Chain A
Amino acid sequence: MSARRLGALLAAVLVVGGGVAIGLYVALFLEASPPPVQAAVIGRRVAALELQTVAEVGHGENSFWVSYYARTPGHKWVHSTILRVPAYSLVHVTVYQYDSATGLRNPLWGQPRGVVGGVMYVNGKPVKVLNPELASHTFAIPELGVSVPLPGVDEEAPNQCSNAPCTLAEAHNTITFTFRTRGPGKYRWQCFVPCAAGFIFGFGGPMQSIGYMDGELEVQSS
């Protein structure tokens, strides 16, 4: 084989190989998704979700990113924001909130809405409006009209969590509320607080990433 032909063959192999590598990277990137976490079914058309918010994951690729975690029915905390719930059901949500307050960019979200009774419970006490300055995150499903502000823990509180998943022994607020699902489908959910520390105006990184402060509610036929 002449040197010219060998060069052409080598170039062709490099081009094809490069194309395959790029295609694989894109495919894997698009396929990458946190594992879905099923809500615990606790009655006919009633389910329960347990979530926690942490100031930073504490390990892995984005260790300093703020994030949500979800708990499986087997009581294992999973780094995921893909939540599976039954359709046309009541979903009782418990959020263990370990992050401190950032404050809402739009104070409107300080009022819980789209939840049963228009009320959330913070450490067992009913709350109909939260001072927007005290919000650390929100759990919001805009298409369902659900938005719940999550009050941050005191920055001076002892025993702050720095490595997720956090435990109940660490400083936290417990927020509970109930919302109603509609028909089957995927509904996005998100945080409305610009809580991405280290990013311009708090809007980058985890605020733009599924698995951190954005997720999907997969509503399935029961």
Chain B
Amino acid sequence: MSTGGEGGLKVPPELRRIAWLWLVLSVVATPLVVIFVGPLLPPGSASDAAHGQQQDNTVMVAIVVPIMIGLLLYFINALIMFRGKDEADALTDGPAIRGQTRVMVLWIATTFVIVLLLAAWGAYELFPGEEGAGGGLGSAPISVALPANASSALPVQVIGQQWTWTYRYPTFGGVETTELVLPVGQEVRFSVTSIDVIHSFWAVHLAVKADAVPGNANVAFVKPVREESSTVRCAELCGLWHGHMTSRLRVVSPAAFRAWIAHEREKWAPIQHYLPAYKPTYAPEPTYRAE
């Protein structure tokens, strides 16, 4: 690059070509990536929270695409333009660029604006709002963090233990199940807890991730919008079989859900009267027996 001394910046012709190429490629590639790659980005769109997270990921990818194109173009240009003709050239560094205040200000301002915009966007999107952000809200979420229909949400208690998940449905007699089944289109209020160590409830496709802490009920909301099967995982290293701590998650029609819950109540009827009365945190008495 010609520095042009203190007087100003002379942009060499190859950089002008790169700039034009970058502009054209960015204008073409960014919408293509948004349209065709965006819908494939995780965590999918199986719930309102998942859809929101996918949109966030799409926005970030859209910002990254022009940056990546710029980097790749300059990298390729550097490989071609600055290629050493012999060994001595290859070991020689170019002259330092000094005194280009405008370039430095432009560079710093651009990156500052990008980072600031991402921070603002992230802060805005992290706030649960009406759709919920998919994260745990703590045991007593503030009212402004609740989704619009929180009061009519289906309560489901998520119980983590080494190394499996179980689920209680307090509005269906407190039945406890080994599979998580949810009705599509219904707002769900998870109350996530643990009866031994810290786990993390991660319903990957629903984009819900909430820590499961003994003695604490971590509340998370989600509304599944599509019938599908997926897997619940533990996202907190929790011991020997942490990697195997999974359970099945099914989102089904409301009619199928009613049939399933009726079947589960019948199936688990023999043990039902041994289960403790439902509480947001699950601490069967005596709390610990093998001290």
Contact = CB atoms under 8 A, between A and B. Distances in A.
A108 B270 CA distance: 10
Interface string A179-216: 00000000010101111110111110001111000100
A59 interface: no
A151 B113 CA distance: 66
Interface residues of A, number: 35
Contact of B244 (A129, A143, A201, A210): A143
A71 B193 CA distance: 39
Interface string B218-245: 0000000000000000000001110010
A203 B162 contact: yes
Contact of B270 (A103, A128, A143): A128
Q: Is the interface of A mostly helix, strand, loop or mixed?
A: loop
Nearest to B276: A107
A102 interface: yes
A111 interface: yes
B166 A208 contact: no
B196 interface: yes
Contact of B289 (A129, A131, A145, A202): A202
B127 interface: no
Contacts of A143: 244
Given A197-B290, A201-B291, A107 B275 contact: yes
Q: Is the interface of B mostly helix, strand, loop or mixed?
A: loop
B43 to A, nearest CB: 24
B139 interface: no
Given A106-B166, A145-B178, A194 B271 contact: no
A179 to B, nearest CB: 15
B240 A106 contact: no
B169 interface: no
Given A188-B241, A190-B241, A106 B274 contact: no
Contacts of A200: 291
A67 to B, nearest CB: 15
A107 B284 contact: yes
Contact of A111 (B161, B268, B290): B268
A102 B290 contact: yes
Given A103-B289, A192-B164, 17 more contacts: A104-B284, A105-B284, A105-B289, A106-B166, A108-B271, A110-B274, A129-B270, A129-B271, A142-B244, A143-B244, A194-B289, A194-B290, A196-B290, A200-B291, A201-B290, A201-B291, A203-B196
Interface of A: 102-108, 110-111, 113, 128-129, 131-132, 142-143, 145, 188, 190, 192-197, 199-203, 207-210, 214
The 10 A-B pairs of least Cβ separation, nearest first, read: A202-B290, A129-B270, A111-B271, A107-B274, A103-B289, A201-B288, A208-B240, A194-B290, A108-B176, A142-B164
9 contacts: A103-B289, A105-B284, A107-B271, A108-B176, A192-B164, A194-B290, A203-B196, A203-B197, A207-B162
